[in-house]
Amino acid sequence: MTAASKVRIGTCSWAEKSLLASGEFYPKGVTTADERLRYYASNFDTVEVDSTYYAIPAAHTVELWAQRTPTGFTFHIKVYGALTGHGIDPRTLPRPLRELVPLADRYRHSIRITDPAPLHAIAAAFTASLKPLRDSGKLGLLVFQYPPWFWYKAANLEQILTCQELMGELPLAVEFRHGSWLSEQHCRQVLAFLRQHRICYVTADEPQYGTQATIPFLPAVTTDTAYLRLHGRNTENWLKKGAESSARYDYLYNGEELNSFAMVARELSARARLVYVMFNNCRAGHAVKNALELARLV
């Protein structure tokens, strides 16, 4: 297997609103959910599902994902926000799970769930929803993107192991968003911890400010799979309060930057069975454009 054949490239959404509005990728006439996913899968062999961060998907929806993609296609799943310590809208929970939430919280717009009982039930429902992808051999990694306030400390290392336990045998990938994890003081220990527990480290690219508000671009391999998650480098909007989420990802990588990523992917392929390069700069078609460009380079 050549280095290029070990590198798989895709995006972190195939139906982001500004992508659909831009007309940059889908041909005229490709307008339905069925047509869009089939067309995406004719250009790429992997995708990361972003919508699963906001709600547990219906099993029928996941079954359709499996049906609409060819053999060998891989779906990576961004884990539901309740399981990564984010605030969630309780109305996104199926009714049986919502009833496990204290009554006073059920009608709030955002809550953080910390009680182990509902978290275990949510994890069970979440993993069960992915069965069609497991059965079809199309399930890749479960991406745990922890919040910026999840910094390095012993209790949070234990929390990662708790998440791994909740997912059973399904493979985890972990993305940190606070620089303490990859600081000179902690980086070696953190990567060793992930290797010990067979958890995939996510190499993220994001804006840099010379602080720990973001993490540095530090390519590394902790399992037989390497995973790059490229957010863009929009320094103006990334930390801007009140900025729309899509505005943070409004960045188109240039040729020099893509050549650098191609070099990193080839280097990682010497140490990993597979390398996934996933573009999350999904604003207005930037991700699909950059992904197609990188595929040509690799």
What does the mean pLDDT of the chain come to?
A: 95
If phi over 0 gives left and psi between -120 and 50 gives alpha, with beta otherwise, what is residue 202? beta
* Whole-number Cα distances in Å, 256 to 16, 67, 247, 259, 298: 26, 38, 23, 5, 14
Find the Cα–Cα–Cα–Cα dihedral 271, 273, 277, 278, rounded to 10°: -130
First to last CA, the chain: 14
pLDDT for position 1: 60
pLDDT for position 3: 62
- pLDDT tens, residue by residue, 46-100: 999 999 999 999 999 999 999 999 999 999 999 999 999 999 999 999 999 999 9
- Please tell me the pTM assigned to this model: 0.96
**Homologous superfamily (CATH) for 4-297:** Protein of unknown function UPF0759 (3.20.20.410)
Distance CA 235, CA 279 (A): 17
Provide, rounded to the nearest whole percent, the portion of the chain with pLDDT above 70: 98
Q: Does residue 142 contact residue 77 with C-beta atoms inside 8 Å?
A: yes
Report, as an integer, the average pLDDT of 203-210.
97
Among 126, 131, 130, 129, CA closest to 83: 126
Query: Does residue 2 have a pLDDT over 80?
Result: no
* Domain layout of the chain by residue ranges: 4-297
